[in-house]
Amino acid sequence: MLFSSTDSFSAIWQTLLHELHRGALDPKHPFRYLTVATVGEQFPQVRTVVMRQFTADLEFLAYTDVRSSKVRELLEVPRVSLLFYHPKKQVQVRVKALATIHVEDELAQEHWKRVPDKRRSEYQSKLDPATRIAAPAAGWESSSEHSYFSVLKFSPLSIEALQLAREGHLRIQYDLASGWQGVWLVP
Ligand SMILES: Cc1cc2nc3c(=O)[nH]c(=O)nc-3n(C[C@H](O)[C@H](O)[C@H](O)COP(=O)(O)O)c2cc1C
């Protein structure tokens, strides 16, 4: 269990933030990967991304190709839902956030420096992501002349956690509007 019914709101908040920070730092932590949901044209769209950083300002950072569908969707509707799940601790964390897309600005440049040379081609494919191709190899062609690297920054409006427990599940919500004060919810 990550938290219990006898923990204070502030103690649970600190535990959640600690685990989220660990997710960004430890490649083996289950919070390393998150599901990002966007508002698609006809359907909600979900996909897994790597959490590259969880900042002191509680912003979640991820990297992506600026030509990807998720970026197109975020330009239309910059609201996202994020989902984390910790199977051992039996905790689900749901986040509502506002997204900003960073291309060639200070933040993007700072993070591009951290991308190892051998991983840079992931943001330099010749063809746009989701282009139909005759065979997989066509999708691996890249050119270092053009880089489509971008950093997605998700700034949370609310963070909710569900702790499964034998003696009774616990659901707690924190939101920016109330200064991140906690409130229990019916699970
Ligand atoms: C374990 C895992 C990690 C992934 N990490 C990223 C990532 O950090 N950034 C990214 O753009 N796509 C990542 N992907 C691929 C996305 O899930 C998705 O397939 C791709 O970005 C295209 O999504 P879109 O068409 O919604 O833009 C990852 C996929 C898996 C399975």
Atom of ligand 1 nearest to the CA of 47: 17
The answer to whether the beta carbons of residues 172 and 9 sit under 8 Å apart is: yes
Give residue ranges with CB within 6 A of ligand 1: 33, 45, 47-50, 62-64, 68-70, 129-130
Q: Which fold has domain 9-129+141-185?
A: Pnp Oxidase; Chain A (2.30.110)
pLDDT tens for each residue of 92-109: 999 999 999 999 999 999
Q: pTM, whole model, 2 decimals?
A: 0.97
Average predicted confidence (pLDDT) for the chain: 97
**Cα torsion 58, 64, 70, 74: sign:** positive
11: CB partners within 8 A, 6+ apart: 3
Instruction: Count Cα atoms within 13 angstroms, Cβ side, for 122.
Output: 10
Query: Mean pLDDT of residues grouped by 10 in the chain (187 residues)?
Result: 97 98 97 98 98 98 98 98 98 98 97 96 97 97 93 98 97 98 98
Give me the residue spans of the domains in the chain.
9-129+141-185
**Cα torsion 91, 1, 27, 136: sign:** negative
Atom of ligand 1 nearest to the CA of 38: 26
